[in-house]
Amino acid sequence: MWRRMLLSAAIALTAPTFASAQIADFQDGTTQNWTQGAGFGGAPTPVLATDAGPDGVGDDALLVTPSEATSRIFPQTVANQAFLGDFVADGIVEVQFDAMAPQTNSTANIELHAIVMNTANNRWVSGQAGLVPPDGVWRTFTLSLAEVDMSQALGNNAYALDFANVDRFGLRHQVGLGSSGTALASPSDELFLDNIQLLPEPGATAAALAVLAALGAATRRRASPRRGA
């Protein structure tokens, strides 16, 4: 019975839901559905950059470029509808990613904010940003998605309502916390991204491991033969 309870607890505590299971490392030879599509400026679809990741040969990355149309440079934006779901139930509080801007870029710093949206076009922007200088160096950034660190750019829904129904998640270059992105200095500027993942609250994982450890200890005690038996 205890073994069955331990197994059930392990499944319940470790099986991630759809949003929290996502990680984009681009090692499957595709862009994993990351796009710059409708609602995000209409810029070109990102492409796979072979061997361009932080680990070099064998580590692929995503290459994002802006575009120019009617003398306008579109905002640098990446959005993926696979990173969706109930962020509240999943305990999602952070996004982590690796980013690099080549030395040839004209933009002084690409300022990447997290963008969270739902079907009603309610939009939230992370107060924290990853500043990516044009030096060709890969850096790891972690941005908080907690309510206290998010700014509501469009709509008037409560944070809990919108984050329980996320259907689009993105990273966008913008200066400030408005509803629109900021143009890059040049249409030839580039951005490389890798290892994008949503992270649950650290304490939730620790608590889950503690419960599993306690159940495991109880199982071992019941399985041990009693003295004098």
Provide the residue ranges of all domains of the chain, joining segments of one domain with +. Answer: 2-7+20-221
- Could you report the per-residue pLDDT of 144-196, keeping only the tens digit for each? 999 999 999 999 999 999 999 998 888 988 888 888 888 888 878 899 999 99
The residue that leads in pLDDT, 227 or 108, is 108
| 32 vs 44: which has the higher pLDDT | 32
CA-angle at 86, arms to 81 and 87, nearest 5°: 90
Interval 202-217 mean pLDDT:
52
pLDDT digit string, tens, across residues 182-205: 888 887 889 999 999 999 987 554
- Phi and psi at residue 38, in whole multiples of 5°? -55, 140
The pLDDT value given to residue 163: 95
Alpha-carbon dihedral 200, 201, 204, 206, rounded to 10 degrees: 100
How far is 20 from 90, CA to CA, in rounded Å? 6
Cβ atoms 183, 110 nearer than 8 A: no
The pLDDT, as a whole number, for residue 7 is 29
Does the structure show a pLDDT above 80 at 70?
no
Confidence of residue 212 (pLDDT cuts 50, 70, 90): very low
For residue range 101-135, list pLDDT tens digits in order: 999 999 999 999 999 988 777 999 999 999 999 99
pLDDT confidence band for 84 (50 / 70 / 90):
confident
Coil/strand/helix, residue 108: coil
Report pLDDT for 223.
Answer: 53
The mean pLDDT of 78-90, rounded to a whole number, is: 85
Band (pLDDT 50/70/90 cuts) for residue 15 is very low
Cα→Cα distances 119→69, 122, 131, 167, 171, Å: 27, 7, 29, 6, 18
- Look up the CATH architecture of domain 2-7+20-221: Sandwich (2.60)
Residue 1 CA from chain centroid, whole number: 39
With beta carbons less than 8 A apart as the criterion, state whether 148 and 94 touch: no
pTM value? Answer: 0.78
How far is Cα 99 from Cα 203, in angstroms, rounded to an integer? 26
CB atoms inside a 10 Å sphere around CB 94 = 19
Closest alpha carbon to 211 in 21, 1, 6: 6
